[in-house]
């Protein structure tokens, strides 16, 4: 039986993504969904279009995204940014629902704990970048590095067959 690829997303206006069959070397990149100052409608609309096209062209077994907010976000981002990120997550859930692809989410701390051995390194962005470089990747930025980390986290869970990232949406029957 051939495993189906997974798609891992670090959602933001510039979204990092990593894709591949769990346990194999993923491909990764980043995509920008709007120019500086673009409104939420443009960013979320472009995300939905891109994701719909990508899902249609690839038989994904699941999509996993990094949860937009967690215990460490309070005081580090503003309401407008948090609202955009939550909107992007809901857009991913909607597109995946329409394409019958299960979607999951995982917290940044949980991902880092799996990949780095600690959920709260002193400088998370630098630590994840360094780890991805140590694994032979050259991420363009922290968005792509975070998507790669999410891919390794999800791959480890899937190879364990014991747990999965937290379900983000109900799969359409």
Residue 131 sits in a domain of what CATH number? 3.30.420.10
pLDDT at 52 over 60: yes
**What is the per-residue pLDDT across 113-133, written as a single tens digit (0 to 9) for each?**
888 887 677 888 999 999 999
The predicted structure's pLDDT at residue 164: 46
Contact 38, 13 (CB under 8 A): yes
Q: Using the CB atoms, write b or e for 85-122: b if 16+ within 10 Å.
A: bebbbebbbbbbeebebbbbbbbbbbbbebbbeebebe
Task: Round to whole Å and give the CA distance between 27 and 20.
Answer: 6
88 pLDDT more than 50: yes
Q: Is residue 116 part of a domain?
A: yes
Residue 99 CA to residue 59 CA, distance in Å, equals 10
Mean pLDDT of the chain: 86
pLDDT at 77: 64
Q: Which of 39-53, 66-80, 95-109 is predicted least confidently?
A: 66-80
Q: Domain of 158?
A: 6-167
pLDDT at 173: 39
Domains of the chain: total: 1
Q: In this structure, is residue 1 part of a structural domain?
A: no
Q: Does the pLDDT value for residue 11 go beyond 90? A: yes
pLDDT at position 6 over 60: yes
Residue 130 domain flag: yes
In a domain, 64, yes or no: yes
26 assigned to some structural domain: yes
């Amino acid at each position: 039986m051939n495993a189906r690829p997974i798609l891992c997303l670090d959602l933001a206006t510039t979204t990092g993504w990593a894709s591949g069959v769990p346990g194999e070397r993923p491909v990764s990149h980043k995509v920008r969904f709007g120019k500086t100052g673009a409104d939420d409608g443009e960013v979320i609309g472009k995300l939905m279009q891109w994701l719909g096209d990508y899902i249609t062209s690839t038989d994904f077994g699941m999509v996993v995204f990094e949860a937009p907010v967690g215990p460490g976000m309070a005081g580090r981002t503003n309401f407008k940014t948090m609202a955009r990120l939550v909107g992007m997550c809901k857009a991913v859930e909607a597109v995946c629902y329409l394409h019958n692809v299960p979607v999951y989410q995982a917290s940044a701390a949980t991902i880092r704990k799996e990949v780095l051995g600690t959920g709260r390194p002193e400088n998370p962005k630098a630590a994840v970048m360094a780890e991805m470089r140590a694994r032979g990747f050259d991420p363009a930025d922290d968005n792509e590095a975070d998507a790669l980390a999410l891919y390794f986290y999800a791959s480890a869970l899937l190879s364990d067959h014991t747990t999965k990232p937290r379900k983000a949406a109900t799969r359409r029957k």
